[in-house]
Amino acid sequence: MFNNFSKTFAMVFMVAFAGAFSQDFDNFIPKVRRENVARLILNSKSSPEVISLCFDSYNYYWNASNTVYRSQYDSCRTTAAKGNSAINEEVASNITYVITLQEESAKEYEECNEEKGDALAYFQCTTKAATNAAKTSRDIQNISNDRIQYVTMRRDMVKYDCDDCTGKCNAAHNAELAKVEEGLLDCLSGKIPPPTPPTPTTSSTTTSPTPSSTTTTPQPSVETTTSDE
């Protein structure tokens, strides 16, 4: 009976987190991490009551950690998106200039159409337009090649910063989830009683876009004190 109860809880946990987050963030929480928690519950020999109490208590800390680090993870991605938008703004004037060159070149050819009634004048006009267009094409090519190198370099920098930001977030998040798993294991094995999650407050907490080792989510204590008899 206990084993069936554990299986039910493990299945509920895995299903609940299968679609709880966006695909990006779901990949950010390693599947093995979710499987570890499900395995702890599945292998528990405790009574259904203890499993329920432990699960409810530590599920709070699991969700709290996910909420904090999802916010920070999303901040990393938002910062990267803003960085790429800024790059587009930086080269906007170059794009406008290239478009102007294209339009001026096309206009020269269109003006030649007005001379189509005079074969000599028409071909003289198109020859001149082609000569100017060749120079314009070289100018466009030079500008484009230069901007390609610049945009590529800047986007690589944005990607590096984003990967570094999400990587630190990932490491800090997994460290906290490991603590939650450790506490859950101690709870299921009877080493410590189920902790009481803190009472929710109405005040909001602002998190840093880049997580650090000092960023913590409220964690249950895994230590117990024994009174002397």
Residue 207, pLDDT score:
42
Q: For residue 21, give both structure tokens.
A: 């987050």
Q: For residue range 67-126, list pLDDT tens digits in order.
A: 888 899 999 999 999 999 999 999 999 999 999 999 999 999 999 999 989 999 999 999
Residue 77, pLDDT score:
94
Residue 216, pLDDT score:
37
Residue 58, pLDDT score:
82
Task: Answer yes or no: is pLDDT of 140 > 80.
Answer: yes
Using alpha carbons only, give the angle 55, 56, 60 rounded to the nearest 5 degrees. Answer: 105
Q: Give pTM, 2 decimals.
A: 0.67
Task: Answer yes or no: is pLDDT of 203 > 90.
Answer: no
Residue 89, pLDDT score:
96
Question: What residue type is 72 in one-letter code?
Answer: Q
Q: Distance between CA atoms of 113 and 121, rounded to whole angstroms?
A: 10
How many residues does this entry show for the chain? 229
Of 159, 155, 167, the residue nearest 72 (C-alpha)? 167
Domains and CATH numbers, the chain: 29-188 (1.10.287)
Question: What angle in degrees, to the nearest 10, is found between the helix axes of 48-90 and 31-42?
Answer: 170
Q: What DSSP string runs through 43-106?
A: T--S-HHHHHHHHHHHHHHHHHHHHHHHHHHHHHHHHHHHHHHHHHHHTHHHHHHHHHHHHHHH
Residue 49, pLDDT score:
80
Q: Distance between CA atoms of 174 and 219, rounded to whole angstroms?
A: 13
Under 8 Å CB-to-CB from 133, ≥6 apart: which residues? 105, 108, 109
Residue 29, pLDDT score:
58
Mean pLDDT of 149-166: 96
Task: Answer yes or no: is pLDDT of 15 > 50.
Answer: no
With cut-offs at 50, 70 and 90, classify the pLDDT of residue 211.
Answer: very low
Task: Answer yes or no: is pLDDT of 192 > 60.
Answer: yes
Q: Distance between CA atoms of 66 and 60, rounded to whole angstroms?
A: 10
With cut-offs at 50, 70 and 90, classify the pLDDT of residue 133.
Answer: very high
Q: Distance between CA atoms of 126 and 171, rounded to whole angstroms?
A: 64
User: Which residue has tokens 């499993």?
Assistant: 51
User: Phi first, then psi: what are they for 46, rounded to 5°?
Assistant: -75, 170
Least confident of 75-79, 151-155, 177-181: 177-181
Element at 176 (helix H, strand E): helix 119-188
Residue 157, pLDDT score:
97
Q: Distance between CA atoms of 192 and 184, rounded to whole angstroms?
A: 9
Using alpha carbons only, give the angle 31, 32, 37 rounded to the nearest 5 degrees. Answer: 105
Least confident of 32-41, 83-92, 126-135: 32-41
Question: What angle in degrees, to the nearest 10, is found between the helix axes of 2-18 and 48-90?
Answer: 10
Task: Answer yes or no: is pLDDT of 2 > 50.
Answer: no
